[in-house]
């Protein structure tokens, strides 16, 4: 759709408060004057109706959308496809909500105000390419991993509390216990007996764990193939495996141009140095914000390199000889890893910003 406006049409800015079933939009002028607000259904027709409604008040300069990674994802895709500049708007913090109150209209007006004030300047992730596919596959894998962990923990718990006549025949290590439990043959006609009920529970938990392992293996195979196609340079870096690469790709998004520098990537991954000097003490620490999954991926890469990469071990030894603490060395190492990853991602995701 091509949006047109009369030659002297005023420019407007819109803010959208997103929800599961409805989106509430507010339109303001560039001077902050409220023109109108309305609610629209969450559907393709609703997205287009919202866009047409905003365009009816003037030439759309920018639109701020809350929660573009969840409730606002569909709307953000629709607006970007129509050529509208979309900005990510953070939801109000608790202190602001407590002071000003909260409803959909207020939130939509506040979203538009943040766009005008420049406090909403982040470009949302592009969710129309293979990186979004990686996010979906990785999310399914993570769910399966958590479910398998829960099943294995429950398996050990049932073994621990099972009658001694059964418990003493079962191994204690998790892998061997899964194999042994899957071979149990409970007498379903005697489930009123705790031993037979324990056998059935153990067998079901072991079967579930095996099925989840097969699901995880299949997911990891799919993720590895997709990562190899999307980011071969990143995957070739020392210590970077398919899962850590997928986590980093999901964190930055398809439109890597929105990460304007390696410093921005360090801030996103929680590896930017923060000064914590006081008096005669001068030092830094890593800030505790950013994407925590991406931070964990960087930490995994650092540990892998310390264990297997001669250059990284030589760097650690040299810095220890200079008097640095292990914590400071790890901070410096993570920052260097982010610098390298930024170059790799820029090579792999060198798409023009749309």
- In this predicted structure, what is the pLDDT of residue 318? 95
pLDDT of residue 274: 79
Do 15 and 64 contact (CB within 8 A), yes or no?
A: yes
pLDDT of residue 240: 97
- Do 242 and 304 lie in a common domain? yes
**What pLDDT score does 287 carry?**
76
Residue 290 and residue 223 share a domain: no
Could you tell me if residue 181 is inside a domain?
yes
Mean pLDDT of successive 10-residue stretches along the chain, which has 354 residues? 58 96 96 96 97 96 94 96 94 66 88 93 91 97 98 97 96 96 96 96 98 98 98 97 98 92 93 78 75 96 97 95 91 94 94 49
92 is in which domain, residue-wise? 11-117
Domain count, the chain: 3
Same domain, 261 and 340: yes
Which CATH number characterizes residue 103's domain?
3.30.420.40
List, in order, residues 6 or more apart from 221 with CB less than 8 Å away: none
pLDDT score recorded for residue 3: 56
Q: How many CB atoms lie within 10 A of CB 190?
A: 11
pLDDT of residue 177: 97
Residue 42, domain member (yes or no) = yes
The answer to whether residue 40 sits within a structural domain is yes
Is 25 within a domain? yes
Q: Are residues 308 and 265 in the same domain?
A: yes
| 269 lies in the same domain as 344 | yes
69 occurs within a structural domain: yes
Residue 354: per-residue pLDDT: 41
Last-in-domain residue among 117, 146, 168: 117
Residues 97 and 140 in one domain: no
Same domain, residue pair 99 and 169 = no
Are 246 and 343 contained in the same domain? yes
In a domain, 6, yes or no: no
Residue 255 within a domain: yes
Residue 210 and residue 237 in one domain: no
Domain boundary among 196, 230, 264: 230
For residues 156 and 180, what is the distance between their CA atoms, to the nearest angstrom? 12
> What pLDDT is attached to residue 94?
66
Same domain, 173 and 261: no
Q: Are residues 221 and 246 in the same domain?
A: no
Domain boundary among 91, 117, 143: 117
User: Is residue 123 domain-resident?
Assistant: no
Are 201 and 164 part of one and the same domain? yes
∠ Cα 260 295 86 (to 5°): 40
Whole-angstrom CA distances from 58 to 4, 27, 79, 210, 272 are 9, 10, 16, 59, 41
């Amino acid at each position: 759709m091509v949006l047109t406006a009369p030659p002297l049409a005023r420019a407007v800015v819109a803010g959208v408060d997103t929800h599961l079933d409805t989106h509430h939009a507010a339109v303001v002028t560039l001077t902050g004057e409220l023109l109108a607000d309305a609610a629209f259904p969450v559907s393709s027709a609703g997205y287009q109706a919202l866009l047409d409604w905003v365009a009816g008040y003037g030439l759309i300069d920018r639109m701020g959308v809350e929660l573009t990674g969840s409730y606002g994802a569909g709307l953000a895709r629709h607006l970007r496809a129509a050529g509208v500049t979309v900005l990510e708007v953070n939801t109000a913090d608790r202190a602001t909500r407590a002071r000003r109150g909260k409803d959909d209209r207020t939130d939509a007006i506040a979203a538009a105000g943040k766009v005008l004030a420049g406090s909403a300047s982040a470009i949302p992730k592009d969710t129309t390419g293979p990186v979004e596919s990686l996010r979906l596959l990785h999310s399914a894998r993570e769910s399966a991993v958590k479910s398998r962990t829960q099943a294995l923990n429950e398996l050990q718990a049932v073994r621990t509390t099972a009658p001694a006549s059964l418990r003493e025949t079962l191994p204690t290590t998790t892998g061997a216990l899964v194999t042994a439990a899957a071979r149990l043959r409970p007498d379903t006609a005697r489930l009123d007996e705790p031993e037979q009920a324990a056998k059935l529970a153990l067998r079901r938990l072991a079967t579930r764990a095996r099925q989840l392992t097969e699901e995880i293996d299949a997911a990891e195979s799919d993720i590895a193939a997709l990562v190899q196609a999307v980011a071969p340079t990143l995957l070739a870096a020392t210590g970077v495996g398919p899962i850590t690469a997928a986590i980093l790709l999901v964190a930055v998004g398809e439109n890597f141009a929105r990460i304007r520098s390696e410093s921005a990537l360090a801030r996103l991954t929680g590896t930017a140095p923060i000064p914590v000097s006081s008096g005669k003490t001068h030092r830094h620490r890593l800030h505790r914000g950013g994407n925590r999954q991406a931070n964990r991926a960087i930490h995994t890469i650092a540990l892998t390199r310390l264990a297997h990469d001669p250059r990284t071990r030589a760097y650690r030894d040299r810095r220890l000889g200079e008097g640095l603490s292990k914590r400071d060395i790890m901070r410096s190492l993570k920052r260097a890893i982010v610098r390298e990853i930024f170059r790799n991602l820029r090579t792999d995701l060198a798409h023009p910003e749309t």
